[in-house]
Amino acid sequence: MSDRFFPNPYADYDEKAHGTEYHSIVSRSSVIDLIVKYVGMIQNHTQTKMREDLYVGTAGIAFMFWKLSRSEETKNLFPCLKLASKYITEAKHHSAKKHRSSKDSVAFLCGDSGIAAVSAVIAHSQGNGHDAENEVKIFLKGHPVCATDGGYEADEVLVGRAGYLHGSYWLNQTIASKPIANETVTAICKVIMTRGRRIAASLQTAAPLMYEYHKKTYLGAAHGICAILHALLESPWFDRDDDGQFCVSPTKLSDIKNTIDYVLTMQNHEGNFPTRHDSNRTLVHWCHGCGGAIYLFAKAYLTFKEEKYLQCCRKCADTIWHQGLLRKGPGICHGVAGNGYAFLLMYRLTGEKCYLYRAAKFTEFLNSPTFAEQLLAPDRPYSLYEGLAGTC
């Protein structure tokens, strides 16, 4: 028995046996009951000292309430936007008291650009356009650092350029005026390309692009190349022009795609990826391994329409099914909810019921007595990325 995950106790999907079973597992009322229970636990425990960021801090709790405000099913369960506003104000207050560096102005999941983005979106949802604009201006303070090669060494998602890009895309998806200009985005993408080519050349990797975080060539979604490549695929370079062609130059296109194909070659027979380019260690998390890599390959499939990327996603999903009921808790970074979310992605990508069934079974497990004892295992058990806020 692995010390990392619970053996999956459920039979896999069989249409004859399970045709509609997932309907009752994920009944509206059972999900709502879980959310009410979790939100109650979060509210009882967030008075104690928390960090302020999205990853494990009060901004993450604010994001959760904003997200609950977006669903017809949950928006009236709590005064969602009022609570979102309360938590984000707290996050800003704590952040303002600290000495802030250029790193903080860039960092999305673990710093101030994330707090500003969530604050902008909450203000926008409350119909407060003026405050939303001001928060976008604060978010944009991170741009000069991101768009400069040198001086700031992180390209990954938690504190680096890719996280800032994902934040920019989220602001443009969420705020109708699309406040982040295409040129603002592509200036950062160009720096990411230059840096990736330089690191690949210095390490003599077969891939045209490579990235390091604290001198380590991580592959996974948190610190590694998967989420960086994903951020490039989401850029305006991959919009189609009038002739249906990508807007990206042929050399950039080939470097990005060849690097994705290189990462694809690192998928092992189980369907997982090593944590680092130069390692054989594997984990089934969002932060490291197939639980996060799947998002890159889903995006690659949607972008390039090549079957091999979908096959890669299917293998990731199979590994998650067998090894994804993590003992580390309910979170989305290295927990059961994060791994279960990959099945919802696969269901949206393929429409196949087996993935909805698997997601439902992971939800069922979250509510099982076996798991209840482990619920508070992570360091920050109520937070967005490690705890119950992400589960909600």
Would you tell me which residues interact with Zn ion (CB under 5 A)? Answer: 285, 287, 333-334
Residue placing its CB nearer to Zn ion in the complex, 18 or 285: 285
Residue placing its CB nearer to Zn ion in the complex, 196 or 292: 292
Residue placing its CB nearer to Zn ion in the complex, 255 or 386: 386
Shortest distance, position 147 Cβ to Zn ion, whole Å? 28
| CB count in 10 Å sphere of residue 357 | 26
12, exposed or middle or buried, with CB in 10 Å at 0-12, 13-18, 19+?
middle
Instruction: Please answer whether residues 73 and 126 qualify as being in contact, where contact means their C-beta atoms are separated by less than 8 angstroms.
Output: no
Residue placing its CB nearer to Zn ion in the complex, 248 or 333: 333
Shortest distance, position 377 Cβ to Zn ion, whole Å? 13
Shortest distance, position 378 Cβ to Zn ion, whole Å? 9
Instruction: Tell me the sheet residues that pair with 274.
Output: 282
- In SS3 terms, the chain reads as CCCCECCCCCCCCCHHHHCCHHHHHCCHHHHHHHHHHHHHHHHHHCCCCCECCCCCEHHHHHHHHHHHHCCCCCCCCCCHHHHHHHHHHHHHHHHHHCCCCHHHHHCCCCCHHHHHHHHHHHHHHCCCHHHHHHHHHHHHHHHHHHCCCCCCCCCCCCCCHHHHHHHHHHHHHHCCCCCCCHHHHHHHHHHHHHHHHHHHHHHCCCCCCCCCECCECECCCCCCHHHHHHHHHCCHHHCECCCCCECCCHHHHHHHHHHHHHHHHCCCCCCCCECECCCCCECCCCCCCHHHHHHHHHHHHHHHCCHHHHHHHHHHHHHHHHHCCECCCCCCCCCHHHHHHHHHHHHHHHCCHHHHHHHHHHHHHHCCHHHHCCCCCCCCCCCCCCCHHHHC
Residue placing its CB nearer to Zn ion in the complex, 334 or 361: 334
Residue placing its CB nearer to Zn ion in the complex, 69 or 275: 275
Q: Which residue has the tokens 């928006």?
A: 75
Shortest distance, position 332 Cβ to Zn ion, whole Å? 9
Sign, CA dihedral 160-164-169-173, equals positive
Shortest distance, position 335 Cβ to Zn ion, whole Å? 8
**Residues whose CB is less than 8 angstroms from the CB of residue 272 and which lie 6 or more positions away in sequence, other chains included:** 282, 284, 289, 290, 316, 319
333 annotated ligand-binding residue: yes
130 annotated ligand-binding residue: no
User: Which residue in the shown chain puts its C-beta closest to Zn ion?
Assistant: 287
Residue placing its CB nearer to Zn ion in the complex, 92 or 334: 334
287 annotated ligand-binding residue: yes
Residue placing its CB nearer to Zn ion in the complex, 59 or 356: 59
Shortest distance, position 143 Cβ to Zn ion, whole Å? 27
Residue placing its CB nearer to Zn ion in the complex, 167 or 289: 289
Shortest distance, position 273 Cβ to Zn ion, whole Å? 14
Shortest distance, position 287 Cβ to Zn ion, whole Å? 3
Shortest distance, position 32 Cβ to Zn ion, whole Å? 27
Q: Which residues are annotated as a binding site for Zn(2+)?
A: 287, 333-334
Binding residues: 287, 333-334
